[in-house]
């Protein structure tokens, strides 16, 4: 356990100034100008070597059980031919029929290790529960949660990817399994996919059932919602918010949160739709998570239009709480990309035309969901760090590195990087590089590569 990190650059201070961070019991005690005369060679002191230090990163939404299916030799016969959602569901269903604990642990462990190397110290990990895999993915996820508990906070979401009500026997089995999964204390989140139901009434029933189950067991709720780009089809967001209010989420949920992922149909909203949504969300702990890599690959209209949540616009024009996340790695839903949240932030520079210094900082981190929103120059990093952690109910460290906050950091580059080293959050978002060091609760968990 570290007691001090010395000789580092920090966000929002001139790159020429160096700082020392004192740590106690895994939390920041103070941030002071660097004392070059001090003896900093103790085993519990890390010499930052003039590197930039920033809050660690977060996966607000990542699928642990179906990662790397396109790379794993066990599933080498399952390769993309059409690249559409139907094929992705079928390929994943076939892969799931072969899942065993050894490959679930092997692939999941690889995802977590790579994520930590990139600077991740918290993640919401989705594991599927259905008649094919039963609770196999859940049990593997819980083993990995325990294995990595000293290096990363892994929040397990028991997730019903398949329908809960379409197909009486199959849906009933999933509901029974999800009820079982909800009883596990180590499962923090319940999730479902209402859009896979075969009718709107059943989609609404899906939302009602999973909301009731979440309230009954006091779990966070995470819905994959409105994953389509058809302006003639009404989004389920309105009925979802009605259900949450009718079931008195705010009064009964004991500060548990609601996260809505994908929501690509909302990209077709007009100003009046956003204004109505802002009004209807008011009073509910709702967080939106955009998943750009999956959305851009999967979602296309007949006119070849792509869509993903306009996260920056949602934050600043309409005052929503929103983040972006990786979602899938190495499978038919998202065959490209890696486990690095900053690759999504970098993509956001082009996707949202967010190239200014202020905008680039928003794509990294913000000082925890202040209301009204913090100044723009304090927010751009937030979508993959503090805001992402807030979206899943995890404690986070702000760009200000405030005393008493968790000592969860990522240091960029290495001592030999010279003038090419990242000196600011903006440079990190533009090009994060590949040499990083991760610190979780004051404990180094991954070294410079």
Cα–Cα distances in Å, from 128 out to 62, 69, 71, 92, 297? 12, 15, 20, 11, 22
For residue 387, what pLDDT is reported? 66
Is 408:440 a contact under the CB 8 Å cutoff?
Answer: yes
Cα 6 to the center of its chain, rounded Å: 30
Q: Say whether 348 sits in a helix, a strand or coil.
A: helix
Give all domains of the chain, ordered by start, each with its CATH number: 4-55+399-446 (2.30.40.10), 58-391 (3.20.20.140)
- Report the pLDDT value the prediction gives residue 395, as an integer from 0 to 100: 86
CA-only gyration radius of the chain, Å = 21
CA distance to 29, 32, 433, per residue, from 25 (Å)? 9, 18, 30
What is the per-residue pLDDT for 272?
96
> Cα 32 from chain centroid?
31
Task: Say how many C-beta atoms besides its own lie within 10 A of residue 381's C-beta.
Answer: 29
Please give the chain's pLDDT, 449 residues, in tens.
999 999 999 988 888 899 999 999 999 999 999 998 877 678 899 999 999 999 999 999 999 999 999 999 999 999 999 988 899 999 999 999 999 999 999 999 999 999 999 999 999 999 999 999 999 999 999 999 999 999 999 999 999 999 999 987 889 999 999 999 999 999 999 999 999 999 999 999 999 999 999 999 999 999 999 999 888 899 999 999 999 999 999 999 999 999 999 999 999 999 999 999 999 999 999 999 999 999 999 887 667 778 899 998 998 899 999 989 999 999 999 999 999 999 999 998 999 888 888 778 778 853 222 223 333 333 434 555 666 787 788 888 888 899 999 999 999 987 677 788 899 999 999 998 889 999 999 999 976 54
Please list the residues that pair with 5 across neighbouring strands.
21, 46
Cis peptide before 405 (omega within 30 of 0): no
Pairing of the two strands 53-55 and 409-412: antiparallel
């Amino acid at each position: 356990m570290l007691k001090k990190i010395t000789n580092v650059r920090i966000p929002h201070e001139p790159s020429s100034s160096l700082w020392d961070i004192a740590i106690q019991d895994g939390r920041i005690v103070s941030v002071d100008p660097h004392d070059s005369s001090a003896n900093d060679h103790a085993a519990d002191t890390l010499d930052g070597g003039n590197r930039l230090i920033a809050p660690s990163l977060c996966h607000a939404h990542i699928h642990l059980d179906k990662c790397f299916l396109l790379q794993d030799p066990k599933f080498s016969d399952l390769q993309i031919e059409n690249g559409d959602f139907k094929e992705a569901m079928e390929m994943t269903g076939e892969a799931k029929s072969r899942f065993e604990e050894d490959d679930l642990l092997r692939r999941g462990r690889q995802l977590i290790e790579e994520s930590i190397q990139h600077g991740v110290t918290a993640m919401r990990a989705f594991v599927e529960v259905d008649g094919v895999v039963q609770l196999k993915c859940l049990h593997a996820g819980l083993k990995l949660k325990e294995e990595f508990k000293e290096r990363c906070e892994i929040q397990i979401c028991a997730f019903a990817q398949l329908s809960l009500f379409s197909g009486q026997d199959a849906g009933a089995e999933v509901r029974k399994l999800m009820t079982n999964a909800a009883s596990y204390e180590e499962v923090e989140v319940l999730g479902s996919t209402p859009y896979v139901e075969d009718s709107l009434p059943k989609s609404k029933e899906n939302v009602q059932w999973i909301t009731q189950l979440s309230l009954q067991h006091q779990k966070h709720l995470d819905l994959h919602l409105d994953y389509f780009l058809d302006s003639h089809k009404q989004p389920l967001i309105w009925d979802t918010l009605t259900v949450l209010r009718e079931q008195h989420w705010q009064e009964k949920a004991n500060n548990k949160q609601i996260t809505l992922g994908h929501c690509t149909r909302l990209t077709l909203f007009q100003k009046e739709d956003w204004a109505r949504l802002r009004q209807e969300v008011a009073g509910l702990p709702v967080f939106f998570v955009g998943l750009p890599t999956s959305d851009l690959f999967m979602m296309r209209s007949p006119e070849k239009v792509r869509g993903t949540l306009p996260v920056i616009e949602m934050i600043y024009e309409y005052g929503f709480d929103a983040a972006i996340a990786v979602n899938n790695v190495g499978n038919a839903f998202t065959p490209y990309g890696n486990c690095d949240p900053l690759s999504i932030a970098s993509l956001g520079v082009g996707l949202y035309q967010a190239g200014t210094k202020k905008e680039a900082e928003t794509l990294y981190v913000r000082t925890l969901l202040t209301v009204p929103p913090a100044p723009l120059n304090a927010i751009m990093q937030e979508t993959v760090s503090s805001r992402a952690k807030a979206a899943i109910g995890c404690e986070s460290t702000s760009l200000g590195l405030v005393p008493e906050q968790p000592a969860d950091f990522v240091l960029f580059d290495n001592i030999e990087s010279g003038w090419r080293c990242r000196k600011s959050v903006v440079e990190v978002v533009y090009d994060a590089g590949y040499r990083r060091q991760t610190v979780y609760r004051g404990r180094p968990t991954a070294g410079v590569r």
